[in-house]
Chains A and B, each alone.
Chain A
Amino acid sequence: MKNLTVSPSPHVRSSETVSGIMLDVIIALVPALIASVVIFGFRAALITAVCIGCCVLFEFLWGKIMKKETTIGDFSAVVTGILLAFNLPVSIPLWMCVVGCFFAIIVVKQFFGGIGQNFVNPAIGGRIVMLVSFSSAMTRWTEPLVWQKGVDAATTATPLSVLKGYDGTLSSSLPSLWHMLIGVRGGCIGEVCALALLAGGVYLIARKVIKPVIPLCFIGTVAVIMLIASKGDLEFTAYQILSGGLILGAFFMATDYSTSPITFWGKVIFAVGCGIITSVIRLYANLPEGVSYSIIIMNILVPHIEAITRPKPFGEEKEKKNKKEEAA
Chain B
Amino acid sequence: MSKSTVGGILKAVRQVKGGVFVDHNKLTKDLEVVRITPPDKVVLPMQQHIGAPCVPAVKTGDTVSVGQVIGDSDKFVSAPIHASISGKVISTSEVRVANGKMVPAVTIENDGEMRLFEGLEPPKAETREDFVKAVRASGLVGLGGAGFPTHVKLAFGPDKDIDTLVVNAAECEPYITVDYRECIENSWDIMGGVYTLAEMLGFKNVVIAVEDNKPDAIKVLKAIADKDNDHGNIAKLMTLKSKYPQGAEKMMVQSATGRRVPPGKLPADVGCVVMNVASVAFIARYLKSGKPLVSRSMTVSGSAIAQPKNVRVPIGIEAQKVIDFCGGFKEDPVKIIAGGPMMGAALINTQIPVIKSNNALLAFADGTVTNKKERACIHCGRCADACPMNLLPAEIENFAVRKDAESLVKYGVNVCMECGSCAYSCPAGKPLVQYMRLGKEIVREAGAAK
B289 within 8 Å of A by Cβ? no
- Enumerate chain B residues within 8 angstroms of A14, measured Cβ to Cβ: 20, 424-427
| A315 B260 Cβ-Cβ under 8 A | yes
| A1 B364 Cβ-Cβ under 8 A | no
A258 within 8 Å of B by Cβ? yes
- Enumerate chain B residues within 8 angstroms of A115, measured Cβ to Cβ: 375-376, 378
Smallest beta-carbon distance B343→chain A, Å: 5
In Å, the complex CA distance between A306 and B395 comes to 10
B265 within 8 Å of A by Cβ? yes
- Enumerate chain A residues within 8 angstroms of B370, measured Cβ to Cβ: 12-13, 15
A167 within 8 Å of B by Cβ? no
Name, among B378, B389, B392, B423, the residue most crowded by chain A CB atoms within 10 Å (CB to CB).
Answer: B378
- Enumerate chain A residues within 8 angstroms of B192, measured Cβ to Cβ: none
In Å, the complex CA distance between A179 and B192 comes to 74
Mask for A1-32, Cβ within 8 A of B = 1, else 0?
11011111111111111101100000000000
Smallest beta-carbon distance B372→chain A, Å: 5
Chain A residues within 8 Å of chain B by Cβ, number:
43
Mask for A289-328, Cβ within 8 A of B = 1, else 0?
0000000000000000010001111111100001001100
Q: Per DSSP, are chain A's interface residues mostly helix, strand or loop, or mixed?
A: loop
| B379 A16 Cβ-Cβ under 8 A | no
A257 within 8 Å of B by Cβ? yes
Provided the pairs A5-B335, A12-B370 are in contact, do residues A314 and B415 lie with their beta carbons within 8 angstroms? yes
| A10 B391 Cβ-Cβ under 8 A | no
- Enumerate chain B residues within 8 angstroms of A5, measured Cβ to Cβ: 334-335, 346, 369, 371
Chain B residues within 8 Å of chain A by Cβ, number:
69
In Å, the complex CA distance between A51 and B274 comes to 59
| A314 B390 Cβ-Cβ under 8 A | yes
- Residue of chain B at shortest CB distance from A266: B381
| A310 B411 Cβ-Cβ under 8 A | yes
| A13 B347 Cβ-Cβ under 8 A | no
A116 within 8 Å of B by Cβ? yes
B344 within 8 Å of A by Cβ? yes
- Enumerate chain A residues within 8 angstroms of B174, measured Cβ to Cβ: 12
Mask for B197-220, Cβ within 8 A of A = 1, else 0?
000000000000000000000000
B36 within 8 Å of A by Cβ? no
- Enumerate chain B residues within 8 angstroms of A322, measured Cβ to Cβ: 258-260
Mask for B370-401, Cβ within 8 A of A = 1, else 0?
11100111111110100011111011000000
Provided the pairs A16-B425, A313-B391 are in contact, do residues A6 and B415 lie with their beta carbons within 8 angstroms? no
- Enumerate chain A residues within 8 angstroms of B392, measured Cβ to Cβ: 262-263, 310-311
In Å, the complex CA distance between A306 and B381 comes to 11
A169 within 8 Å of B by Cβ? no
In Å, the complex CA distance between A117 and B378 comes to 8
Within 8 A of B (CB), among A134-162: none
- Enumerate chain B residues within 8 angstroms of A263, measured Cβ to Cβ: 381, 384, 392
In Å, the complex CA distance between A12 and B419 comes to 12
Within 8 A of B (CB), among A263-295: 263
- Enumerate chain B residues within 8 angstroms of A314, measured Cβ to Cβ: 250, 260, 263, 388-391, 415
- Residue of chain B at shortest CB distance from A267: B381
- Enumerate chain B residues within 8 angstroms of A311, measured Cβ to Cβ: 384, 390-392
B37 within 8 Å of A by Cβ? no
Smallest beta-carbon distance A132→chain B, Å: 27
| A316 B384 Cβ-Cβ under 8 A | no
In Å, the complex CA distance between A7 and B364 comes to 13
| B20 A117 Cβ-Cβ under 8 A | no
In Å, the complex CA distance between A15 and B20 comes to 12
| B341 A11 Cβ-Cβ under 8 A | yes
| A315 B391 Cβ-Cβ under 8 A | no
Q: Which of A17, A21, A316, A325 contacts B14 (CB 8 A)?
A: A325
- Enumerate chain A residues within 8 angstroms of B345, measured Cβ to Cβ: 9
- Residue of chain A at shortest CB distance from B434: A8
| A13 B371 Cβ-Cβ under 8 A | yes
| B263 A316 Cβ-Cβ under 8 A | yes
- Enumerate chain B residues within 8 angstroms of A116, measured Cβ to Cβ: 376-379, 428
A residues whose Cβ falls under 8 Å from a Cβ of B: 1-2, 4-18, 20-21, 71, 74, 76, 113-117, 257-258, 262-263, 306, 310-317, 322, 325-326
- 20 further A-B contacts with Cβ under 8 Å, apart from A4-B346, A9-B344, A17-B427, are A1-B332, A2-B334, A6-B335, A7-B371, A8-B346, A8-B434, A9-B342, A13-B429, A14-B425, A16-B382, A21-B378, A114-B376, A115-B375, A117-B376, A262-B380, A263-B392, A315-B263, A315-B265, A322-B260, A326-B258
Between-chain CB contacts (< 8 Å), 26 pairs:
A6-B347, A7-B335, A7-B371, A8-B433, A9-B342, A10-B343, A11-B335, A13-B426, A14-B424, A15-B370, A16-B382, A16-B427, A17-B427, A17-B429, A18-B427, A21-B380, A115-B378, A116-B376, A257-B378, A258-B378, A263-B381, A306-B395, A311-B390, A311-B392, A313-B411, A314-B415
